[in-house]
Structure 1
Amino acid sequence: MGARGPIPKRSEERMGHRSKQEKHSHVKAPAGAAVVPALPDPDPEWHLIATDWYLSLQDSGQAQFYEASDWATARYAAELMSRLLNSDKAPNGQLVAALNSVMGSLLTTEGDRRRARIELQRRPVAVQAPASVTAIADYRASIGG
């Protein structure tokens, strides 16, 4: 169960009858969409983990929904994360919760996207049949089976 209730299932995991509105309530976007061209570079002073997180947003599917203000929020989250990671003090629970909230508002996890009814569609992976299966299929075809 998520922090704000149960995480909704992906549309293909749901069973049963649904209204037309419910069937069309999800916004779907292809994974790995193009990024805003003027994306600000990460601060060289940031902690490596904060930099990696910030840069990972560029390759994430939800980035196609981001506006300039969302990228500014991402920079703020990365700065906050960097300060937290570079601190010699033990992590402050309230600061960690605030950071998780900011990251959640950017839809950075599958649960956050499900709650917002956004699904990133994965590109199908080409599965090649093993050679033995292909040989058997060719043999059957040659004998008319």
Structure 2
Amino acid sequence: MWHPIATDWYLSLQESGQAVFYQPSDWAMARYAAELMSRGLSSDRAPNGQYVAALNSVMASLLSTEGDRRRVRIELERKKPTGPQLAAVRPLDAYRDIAGG
């Protein structure tokens, strides 16, 4: 069982836009990264710089941050909401002007 943070990270990859580009080998690398992350987070010792750098490198190869994706010129578009839209919020001063206050 992985540490909860490692589990959250792995599950977040499945919901991320770049996941459509992942091949089975990418998912294997993601499991490896989650395992490394979990071991580090579950350890009583503070992680050393080399461990952190290696983990960051694996995570970057999976394009897990916006900065990683920008570096390789991949831009994900957000889905536009399809449900009901919230009404625009008007500044209180404008409301007072309309209400005569």
Shift of 1:131: 9.2
Q: Which ranges in structure 2 are unaligned for 5 or more consecutive residues? A: 91-101
The answer to whether 1:46 aligns with 2:2 is yes
Q: What is the RMSD of the two structures over their aligned residues, measured on CA atoms? A: 1.9
State the alpha-carbon separation in 1 of the partners of residues 68 and 25 from structure 2: 18
Q: Give the length in aligned residue pairs.
A: 88
Deviations 1:38-82 (A, max 9, x none): xxxxxxx21111011111111000000000000000000000000
User: Which residue in the other structure is 1:70 paired with?
Assistant: 26
Q: 1:131 to 1:49 in 2, by over 3 A?
A: closer
User: Which of 59, 64, 71 is 1:115 aligned to?
Assistant: 71
More strand by share: 1
Runs of 4+ in 1 over 6 A off after TM superposition: none
More helix by share: 2
Q: 1:85 to 1:124 in 2, by over 3 A?
A: same
State the alpha-carbon separation in 2 of the partners of residues 131 and 96 from structure 1: 44
Q: Which ranges in structure 1 are unaligned for 5 or more consecutive residues? A: 1-44, 133-145
Higher relative contact order (CA 8 A, sep 6+): 1
Percent identical residues:
73
User: Which residue in the other structure is 2:51 paired with?
Assistant: 95
Deviations 1:99-124 (A, max 9, x none): 00100000000000001111110123
Q: 1:121 to 1:131 in 2, by over 3 A?
A: closer
